[in-house]
Amino acid sequence: MAIDFNANYTMTINGKGVTSPSQIDVVNPATGANFASAPDCTEAQLDEAVASAKAAFRTWKKVPIAERQALVRKAGEVLAAHADDLARLFTREQGRPVDAAKQEILGASQWLQAVSMMTPPTHVVEDSAAQRIETTYVPLGVICAIAPWNFPVTLSMWKVAPALVAGNTMVLKPSPFTPLCTLKVGELFRDIFPPGVLNIISGGDQLGPQMTSHPGFAKISFTGSTATGKAVLASAAKDLKRVTLELGGNDAAIVLPDVDLDDVAQKIFFGAFFNTAQICVATKRLYVHESIYDGLRDRLAAIAKAVKVGDGTEQGTVLGPIQNKRQYERVMDLIDDAKKSGLTLIEGANVPDGGGYFIPVTIVDNPPESSRVVQEEAFGPVLPLLKFTDIDDVIDRANDSDYGLAGAVWSKDTDKAVEIARRLETGTVWINQNLQLRPDTPFAGHKQSGFGIENGMEGLLEYMVPQAIYVAKGA
């Protein structure tokens, strides 16, 4: 049956399309106007979704892992087959230009297929005449998954793929700002997974706390802000749910004086501003050696002037709007504070008028380390450039943060760059590149940037628990 990607947005509960007595409005961030609505899940429907996942878990965990892997792989193929339709819908609800939106859908597809190739290990501790001791990994049960609005499809599939391969079932909630693509993905997957294995619900701000406090979940996998992550952790503590939290960052990049400025400027720019800087691992503090500071600043400013910011459906648009009004106001408040503090701001190309949540690319020229624009995660197109002279000093400055998600070092001397990288207190460090994440490589935040691991075998095992079996021989 053909799916209409422009209407009829329903939740998936126990393998069926379900609507709700009330709806939440979905806003196109390029216009600021409502263009669709999604179901506002009731508590009774949440209970139904959890109950169906719990019932499905009894049989799904017994399905041979090769069959679970095959279904997850098929889900990835179906996602890719509908990438064009999903990308157009993605742009309307998220704001990112269509080509970049399609990259996300295809990337999520590849993630499902890559994770479907992973098989948890079996460890034989002893196999002697006296006994055999074997440790395997078994699924946890029903997973509560909560995904954010900046990469709604990719970060949902980061949770779906390992959870289902491991033998768990799931209730997934997308952000109320970007529910539509995820609801349509649920519709696409209804014919792939048995009823109850993957339930997808949508709702307003009240739904997340209802989920995290629900006694039917064995684990919560949450991606979002550090402040909300703390509330999730507190909620999970009541009945000792397992938790994975992928939270905020204030990622520092360090640019050494030996770089070729013409070669690195474009890469550094998009490492900071891709997706309108709404990326948890985007460069958010750029430390530049004083001998090349002016040259890099001027090149970044020129790129900012040349890059088109606008509606993602328009030809030539590179950067779209801030995704929602709440975040737009946060970023504008940070910019206003910088202006009131007398900081020097360099603005990029003009942005459209007319109701959309557009903010020009804004470079802050060597602000004090204590300024809000340096200390806070903007999660928008605002980048402070800061001078340094001494390596030990700049490493200390980069590490002087409650966050520790990712970072980058730029230098022709890769040995020196790696030496610096090892001293950065972050879970991921890139050398002469950025924004590269892989399904086979663990992703984990240090400090207040995270709790637990996503991706890689380590991430898969976060959805499982070890079980040791001791077998006596010769009895």
Contacts of 410 (CB under 8 A, 6+ apart): 253, 254, 255, 256, 259, 264, 268, 417, 431, 432
Could you confirm whether 280 is annotated as catalytic?
Answer: yes
Residue 339 contacts residue 365 (beta carbons within 8 Å):
no
Q: Of 246, 186, 239, give the one whose Cα is nearest residue 212.
A: 239
Catalytic member of 93, 187, 280, 454: 280
Contacts of 415 (CB under 8 A, 6+ apart): none
Catalytic member of 48, 93, 187, 246: 246
Could you confirm whether 246 is annotated as catalytic?
Answer: yes
Distance CA 132, CA 129 (A): 8
Residue 200 contacts residue 177 (beta carbons within 8 Å):
no
Q: CA torsion angle for 182, 184, 187, 192 (degrees, to 10)?
A: -60
DSSP character string of 23-63: EEEEEETTTTEEEEEEE---HHHHHHHHHHHHHHHHHHTTS
Contacts of 162 (CB under 8 A, 6+ apart): 115, 118, 459, 460, 462, 463
- Ramachandran assignment for 173, one of left (phi > 0), alpha (psi -120 to 50 degrees), beta (any other): beta
Residue 458 class from Cβ within 10 Å (0-12 exposed, 13-18 middle, 19+ buried)?
A: middle
Distance CA 353, CA 31 (A): 9
Query: How many other C-beta atoms lie within 10 A of the C-beta of residue 54?
Result: 17
Phi, psi of 121 (to 5 degrees): -80, 160
- Determine the length of the chain: 475
Give the active site residues.
246, 280
